[in-house]
Amino acid sequence: MVKVAIYPPNSLILADLIERKGHTALALQKEVRKKVVDPEIDSPPMNITEDDPIKGLKYAAIEVPSGVRGRMSIIGPMIDEAEAAIIVDDAPFGFGCVGCARTNELSTFLLRNRDIPSLELNYPSSRDETMDMVNKINDFLDSLKSLEGS
């Protein structure tokens, strides 16, 4: 079982494909869930408090807006934890989206520079391309089996 980061980090389709192959998807929803099951919700709806953008300073300077740093406080540790990554570029927001172009730029940069097995694809625009994308993802996930236990 390999921990696979995905981008967009909240793509249900990518997370599902990963889980089906027996790996762990590092999905944004799981991290947000940890924050919202906290008995004290200080900052609804996601319970990102003013401390979180400060934690995000590990990934982006103070001059970078707080929204980017708040997002990075959740996404950054997932990138650090990843053992493999799947990035889908130019995806429509229905596929998964963090709603911030600057976060996208930084997150994909950090993933590309993690020196881990990664697969980067463009979002498909036809049925054939979609099948091709899913096949490539499945092949990539199968290839990760050699990493298990290493």
Partner 1 sequence: MVKIALISCGTEYSGVQKEIEKAANTFGAEIILPEIDLDYINEAYEKFGFSAQSSSLKLMIARAMSIVEGKSKADAIFIATCFRCAEGALVRNVVRQFIQANTRIPVVTYSFTERTKADELFIRMEALTTVVARRSILAREKQEGLTVGIDSGSTTTKVVLMENNSVIGTGWTATKDIMGSVDTAAAEAFEGTGYTMDDVDGIGTTGYGRLTIGKNLKAELIQEELSVNAKGAVYLAGHQKGDATVLDIGGMDNKVITVNNGIPDNFTMGGICAGASGRFLDMTSRRLDVDISELGPLALKGDYKQAVLNSYCIVFGIQDLVTTLAAGGSKEDAAAAACHSVAEQVYEQQLQEIDIREPLIQVGGTSLISGLVQAVSDVLGGIEVIVPDYSQHIGAVGSALLVSGMGNRQDNK
Residue 142: both structure tokens together: 């199968």
> Interface with partner 1 includes 13 (CB under 8 A)?
no
Indicate which single residue of 80, 105, 132, 139 sits in contact with partner 1 (rule: CB under 8 A): 105
Contacts for 109-115: CB closer than 8 Å, 24+ residues apart: 110/59, 110/76, 110/79, 111/5, 111/7, 111/79, 111/82, 111/85, 111/87, 112/87, 114/79, 114/82, 114/85
> Interface with partner 1 includes 58 (CB under 8 A)?
yes
Indicate which single residue of 68, 75, 82, 86 sits in contact with partner 1 (rule: CB under 8 A): 68
> Interface with partner 1 includes 64 (CB under 8 A)?
yes
Q: Kindly tell me which of 90 and 128 has the beta carbon lying closer to partner 1.
A: 90
Q: Kindly tell me which of 21 and 108 has the beta carbon lying closer to partner 1.
A: 108
Q: Are 150 and 117 in contact (CB under 8 A)?
A: no
Query: Which residues are near partner 1 by CB under 8 A?
Result: 54, 57-58, 60-65, 68, 89, 101-102, 104-106, 108-109, 112-113
